[in-house]
Each structure stands twice: as C-alpha cells, then as structure tokens.
Amino acid sequence: MHIPDGYLSPQTNAVLGIVSALTAATAAYKTSKTVQSKYIPLLSIGAAFSFTIMMFNIPVPDGTTAHAVGGTLLAILLGPWAAMIGVSIALVIQALFFGDGGILALGANIFNMGIILPLVGYLVYRLIAGRSAVESKRRLIAAAAAGYIAINVSALMAGIEFGLQPLLFHTANGTPLYSPYGLNIAIPAMLFAHLTIAGPVEGLVTFLTLSYLQRNNPSLLQIRNSDSTSEYPSRPHYGKLILGIMVLIVLSPLGLLASGTAWGEWSSKEVQSQLGYVPAGMEKLSSFWNHALLSDYGTPALAHSFWHQSLGYLLSAFVGLIAIGIIAFMIQNLFRKGEAQNGSSTLATKE
Amino acid sequence: MDLPLWLQKNSPLPTTPSLVASPSSKKKRSNFIQKTLEGVIHFVQESIYSEEIALRPGFLQTMDPRLKFLAIFLLLITVNLLRHLPLLWGLYFGILILAALSKVPSRFLIQRVWLVIPLFTGLMVLPSLFNWVRPGDPLWLLWTFSTPFQIGPLHFPAELSITRQGFEGEVLLISRVGISVTLAVLLTLTTRWNNLLRALRTFFVPKIFIVTLEMTYRYIFVLITLMEDMFFARKSRDAGQSSGAEQRRFVGSSIAHLFGKSLQMSEEVYTSMAARGYTGEIHTLQKFQLRWVDVFSLGVSLMACLTLYAADKVLGG
C-alpha cells in the first residue's frame, strides 16, 4: 500500500502531509508525557521493530507470500501514540533509504498506514477486548478483528485519495494528470485486495503474535496495562481524540478541493468579470508576448501573458545563473591548476 | 529409543533447498523462509551499495545535504506539477547529467527505474486506457460489437477503443512516477544516511524525531540480524515441507519473540545511555558548513523549477 510519487497531486500530498505532521507532533507529545526519559530508546526500537515486521514474508494459502504492516500489533503492544510514531518512522526510513513509497507521498502514506491504521486498530481492539483478562480468548479475537478492520479502513483512505485525483486534476480534454481511476473504481479495487488477502494476513499476524505472547510471555502484554490505568482515567478524553480525527477526515477532502485550483490559473473571463476591464498596458504586453513567443497563439488571455512574461524573465535569469556558474568554475580552475584536487571539491572555496 | 513423532512422518521435500534459488524450478509454491532471507540479504546489500556510492567523490556527494534535500524536493514538486511530456523528459535528461557528474552509474539508475515502473504502474493503469473504464475520445478502435450491452448496473458501449485521454494519462503517469523515483534514488545514493537525517533536522522536523530516526536506523540492522538468525536456524532444521498453518504460526511466534527481544534491548540501551550521562537532553556533533557552490546549486535548481513551471503554464492545457 506504499503510494509512490506521481500517483497523487502535490496539493493532496501537502494537505495530508500537514495532517500527518500535526498528528505526529501530538503523538510525540503524548508519548513523551507517558514514557518519559525511556522514550527515545523505546520508540527507536519500536520503530525498528515495526520496520522489521514489514520484512517478514507470511505464507499465504495459495503458496505465495504477503507482507504485513504490523501497525495494529504495535498499537496493541505499545499503545496508539507510540505505534503511530513507530510506523511513521519506519515509513520515513523506507521512503528515504529504500525507495518504498514516494517522498512527496510520505504524508499520505503516514496518514494511511501510520495514523489511521494504528488508531483504528487500537480502538477496535479496545472495543472488543473490553475489560477481559489478558490471557482470555476474547483478546485474541479482538486482535484479529482489529488487524483486519484497521488495514481495510487504511486501504479505504488510500482508495479515496486515489479516487479524488481524476475528479480534481485533469486537463481540459479530460486527460487525467495523476491516478486515473475515479472513486467508483479506486475504492472497490483497493478494498477488494485488502478484504481478501492483506486484511486476513494482517489479522492473522496480529492474532498469532498475541497468542504466542499469551502462552509464553504474558508480562509483555501488560506493559501498557500498568500505566494505562493512570493514563486514561476517563473516556471523554478519547472521545475528543476521535472527534478531532473525524473532523480532520471530513476536512481533508475539502482541503483538497480548495487547493485544487492553482493560484494564478484564472481564466481571462474570470479576470475580466472580477476587474471589470482589462488593463491597457497589460493587454499590450500580452499581445507583445503572444507575438514574440507564440505568434499563432489563439486567445490573448491575460493569465497566459503573465506566464509568458515570467517565462521570459526566468529563462534569462536561469541562463545567466548558469553562465555565472561556469565562469566562476573556470576562474577557480585557472587559479588552482597547480593543486592536485579530486572531483568537484575543486569548487570549494573554504574548507 | 523411539523416534520423535515429527521424524516418523513423511513429508514432501522443501521446494528450494539451497540458498541460491534455482530458476529452473519455477514453481508457484515458494519457500517463505527463503524469501525472507533473500529479502534480508537484499536489504543489507542495498544499504551497503548506497553507502559505497555516497562515498565516491562526485558533485552531489559533496553538496551540502540540507540544500541537496531542498533542491531535490523542489524538483520533485515540479515533476509532479508539470503536465507536458517534453518538459518532463527534458528535466529527466538534466537529472541524468547530474547523476553522471556524481559518478552514479547511469545504467544502474536507468535499469532500476525503467525496468520496474512501467511494469507496475503500467499494469495498474492499463484498464484506464479503454473507453469502457474511462470514457474519452477514441484513439484506436479495437473492436465493434453489434449492440451495446449491459451487465447488471454496468453499461458498456458497442465500441471498445483505446482513448486519447487514457493513453496520454498513462504515459504522463508512468513518466512522472519514473522520474520521481529517479530523483529519490539519486538522493538516497549520494547521501550518507546520517547526513541525510541531520539535514532533515534543519527543516521543520523536531530534534527528538531525528534522534529517534538515527537510533531506529541503527537498530533496524540489529533486529534484522536477529531475524536472519531466527530464519537461518529454522532453515537449517527444516526437513520436509511443513503445513501452511504451522509456517504462519512460526512467523507469528518469531514476531512475538522479536518484540520481546526488542523491548529488552530498549531497556538495556536506556540503562547504558543513562550510565553514560544521558538525561533526556540531546546533543549532536558536526555542524554543516555552507559553501557558495551549494547555495548556487540550490539557486539553479530553484530557477529550473520556476522556469519549467512557467513553461508548462505557457504551453497551456
């Protein structure tokens, strides 16, 4: 489910990136309050653990293998906030160092797998497990259900993100600029794959790991319980969190819509209707630029003339900058000819 | 002495007995232990290879990591905003020159991106080529049925064709994904991981995240070695083919065991940090020094981005 760069528009990525950054900051604050100074080693190793889970090949009945995300498992073991940070950091490392998932799309990936997944997983787990004993069967069922549901909700989010792209971003003749499928195709496609394969795998891994810990090391399951009594004394606290996330979920498509129209992309009609007239000087310039660069350009649109102008300036500045760079490089080389230097470090002025 | 029960039973042979998976036995049933071990080896190989390239004296390697990150980030945004193929491929050409200046083998760069992306992305967006999935102007008419037909609520027109919009969209998407991946690969290959992480601290990312990231990166290798050991141990004891349920139970147990180990390790790391005077306050060594080349390079990339964006607007569409 790692979304690569290019499938989502930069606008979508920006909105999701902001949401993810805010949530990550909240998560860091919450965790630092509960775990205190052991915080960094615990989180680091939690994140490394989360990264490692994603490397396990899980045998699937048809003979192939699949990967699990492990977000739910981490949320059950370490709590939702620490799990958010763990999975998010694992995703950052995957994107930056191993090319799994895009760099711009990091916000979206963190939102889907690093925030929604552990959160939903944890809520479902708590809801089903209730106040049952740590060794109870009910906890195992809760874990399996949580894993299954969480990854599907997360896939649904990805499906919505994909599906919004062709609605918001396409050219005049309908060519999709990013992911081409609308909501009616993207959501069923994403959900189908996750309801049938990835969901059961995630649920199973969560279930098996928990059942092993119940049998062999139940004390590890109580790390959270010991402080959870003091950590969550009242439920309304959680209600607020859920409400906040809901608001974010509702708002994010609105944000997508709002940022969909790029600044400066007004049509000439829009400008005319807003200003009431077309400034004479700009009109003259616009016709000049149309004439100079693209003589047979159809409409003398105001918006286009702005981009024509800026292109001219930018191009000359760009060429100028490169020329300056080349000249400076040559001068430096002349001065430093005697010195034996390797590679581009000849460019260094001071060491 | 009686043989244990598991030795008395006859079970089918394991499919891939040696570490080197023979390509001749292309059976669908592949060994999950083998796959995991291969994944681990691939992971370690990859990180060593990128460290090796990051140590070569090249243009991007000597650039300040902060500005390099910023420049590549700007280029990434531009790649994702452009709508015209000539501009995108022009930029790609520039990126290849940059790679050559940085002594990144361009064959590796091209192969790694263009052998994989068109397959994956192409396959995913393939259905959107046809007017049945996404209506549009016909480009190539493939087939004409006698009547339009309906399956349930889905309505299909009589003509099946590849649409202009679908085709252009697919080419655009593949180019965009491929070029984005190239940029990301270039960043990874030419920057040592600790420098890249420190560079992140300069932007919006809080210190605490960076320190966690740094420690995570180190411990990933520790945990992965642990995991490799577990799978090797299992592999060396593996006689015959175990059932799928047993295999899955093994994976679940190893994950749980790994969790126990990591928790224990985090305790130990914390005590050793505390023993060395860690109070929760983070200090880092090494300050970056800006050189004029770095600022200049960032300027060039910014200008390139703006120029390309303006050109894209001028071309319209």
- On the CB side of A138, how many CA atoms lie within 13 Å of its CA? 11
Q: Average pLDDT, stretch B46-59?
A: 84
At residue B13, the pLDDT reads 59
d(CA A136, CA A142): 10
- A212–B83 CB contact, under 8 Å: no
Q: Does any CB of chain A come closer than 8 Å to the CB of residue B211?
A: yes
d(CA B256, CA A205): 10
User: Residue A263 pLDDT more than 80?
Assistant: no
A82-104 per-position pLDDT tens digit:
888 888 888 888 888 877 788 88
**Domain that residue B118 falls in:** 31-123+180-275+292-315
Nearest CA among A149, A82, A148 for reference residue A115: A82
At residue A295, the pLDDT reads 41
* Shortest Cα distance, chain B CAs vs residue A43, angstroms: 7
Nearest to B217 among A73, A93, A315 (CB): A93
Which of B288 and B181 is assigned the larger pLDDT? Answer: B181
Q: Does any CB of chain A come closer than 8 Å to the CB of residue B125?
A: yes
- A343–B43 CB contact, under 8 Å: no
Q: Where are the domains of chain A?
A: 10-260, 268-347
* Shortest Cα distance, chain A CAs vs residue B282, angstroms: 10
* Shortest Cα distance, chain A CAs vs residue B58, angstroms: 6
In a domain, B303, yes or no: yes
- Inter-CA distances, B223 with A43, B235, B257, B261, B262, Å: 14, 18, 11, 9, 7
Nearest CA among A149, A111, A60, A155 for reference residue A249: A111
In a domain, B222, yes or no: yes
User: Residue B264 pLDDT more than 70?
Assistant: yes
| pTM score, whole prediction | 0.74
Which of B288 and A52 is assigned the larger pLDDT? Answer: A52
At residue A259, the pLDDT reads 41
Per DSSP, B242 falls in state P
Q: What is the CA radius of gyration of chain A?
A: 27
In a domain, B284, yes or no: no
In a domain, B149, yes or no: no
At residue B303, the pLDDT reads 80
Confidence of residue A145 (pLDDT cuts 50, 70, 90): very high
Confidence of residue B12 (pLDDT cuts 50, 70, 90): low
- Mutation target for A interface from B80, B116, B193, B234: give the one with most A CBs within 10 A: B80
- Residues of A within 8 A of B165 (CB-CB) are 173-176
CB B309 within 8 A of CB B301: no
Of the ranges A132-136, A152-156, A286-290, A297-301, the best mean pLDDT one: A152-156
At residue B1, the pLDDT reads 63
Percent of chain A with pLDDT over 90: 7
At residue A276, the pLDDT reads 55
Confidence of residue A227 (pLDDT cuts 50, 70, 90): very low
Q: Does any CB of chain A come closer than 8 Å to the CB of residue B133?
A: yes
* Shortest Cα distance, chain B CAs vs residue A95, angstroms: 8
Architecture of A10-260 per CATH?
Orthogonal Bundle (1.10)
User: Residue A38 pLDDT more than 70?
Assistant: no
Nearest to B36 among A55, A89, A181 (CB): A55
Q: Average pLDDT, stretch A17-28?
A: 85
* Shortest Cα distance, chain A CAs vs residue B227, angstroms: 8
Q: Average pLDDT, stretch B183-207?
A: 79
Q: Average pLDDT, stretch A102-127?
A: 90
Q: Does any CB of chain A come closer than 8 Å to the CB of residue B126?
A: no
- B253–A208 CB contact, under 8 Å: yes
* Shortest Cα distance, chain A CAs vs residue B169, angstroms: 5
Q: Average pLDDT, stretch B108-133?
A: 78
What residue type is assigned to position A273 of the chain?
Answer: S
Q: Does any CB of chain A come closer than 8 Å to the CB of residue B47?
A: yes
* CB proximity list for A53: less than 8 A, separation 6 or greater: A68, A69, A70, A73, A74, A205, B255, B258
Of the ranges A301-310, B88-97, B144-153, the best mean pLDDT one: B88-97
Percent of chain A with pLDDT over 70: 68
Nearest CA among B56, B72, B96 for reference residue B199: B72
In a domain, B265, yes or no: yes
d(CA A87, CA A110): 8
Tell me the pLDDT of chain B averaged across its residues: 78
Say how many CB pairs under 8 Å bridge A and B: 325
Nearest CA among B133, B134, B159 for reference residue B146: B159
Q: Average pLDDT, stretch A64-89?
A: 84
Question: Closest chain B residue to A310 measured between Cα atoms?
Answer: B310
Confidence of residue B317 (pLDDT cuts 50, 70, 90): low
Tell me the pLDDT of chain A averaged across its residues: 73
A278-321 per-position pLDDT tens digit:
545 445 445 444 444 444 444 445 556 677 777 777 777 777 77
DSSP per position, A175-200: -BSS----HHHHHHHHHHHIIIIIHH
- A321–B303 CB contact, under 8 Å: yes
- Residues of B within 8 A of A173 (CB-CB) are 136-137, 164-165
At residue A117, the pLDDT reads 92
When mean pLDDT is compared across B9-13, B120-124, B174-178, B258-262, the lowest value belongs to: B9-13
- B28–A205 CB contact, under 8 Å: no
Confidence of residue A343 (pLDDT cuts 50, 70, 90): very low
In a domain, B298, yes or no: yes
Q: Average pLDDT, stretch B148-165?
A: 72
Confidence of residue A148 (pLDDT cuts 50, 70, 90): very high
Q: Average pLDDT, stretch B43-49?
A: 83
When mean pLDDT is compared across A72-86, A234-248, B92-106, the lowest value belongs to: A234-248
At residue A237, the pLDDT reads 52
- Residues of A within 8 A of B304 (CB-CB) are 318
User: Residue A228 pLDDT more than 50?
Assistant: no
Q: Report the SS3 class of residue A241.
A: helix
Instruction: Tally the domains of chain B.
Output: 1
Q: Average pLDDT, stretch A217-221?
A: 77
At residue A118, the pLDDT reads 92
When mean pLDDT is compared across A56-65, A212-221, B212-221, B256-265, the lowest value belongs to: A56-65
Please state the three-class secondary structure of B20-62 as a single string: CCCCCCCCCCCCHHHHHHHHHHHHHHHHHHHHHHHCCCCHHHH
Percent of chain B with pLDDT over 90: 0
In a domain, B26, yes or no: no
- B252–A344 CB contact, under 8 Å: no
Of the ranges A62-71, A204-213, A221-230, B303-312, the best mean pLDDT one: A204-213
In a domain, B154, yes or no: no
- Residues of A within 8 A of B188 (CB-CB) are 96-99
CB A11 within 8 A of CB A256: yes
When mean pLDDT is compared across A90-94, A320-324, B178-182, the lowest value belongs to: A320-324
Question: Closest chain A residue to B256 measured between Cα atoms?
Answer: A209
Q: Does any CB of chain A come closer than 8 Å to the CB of residue B242?
A: no
When mean pLDDT is compared across A67-81, A219-233, B190-204, B215-229, the lowest value belongs to: A219-233
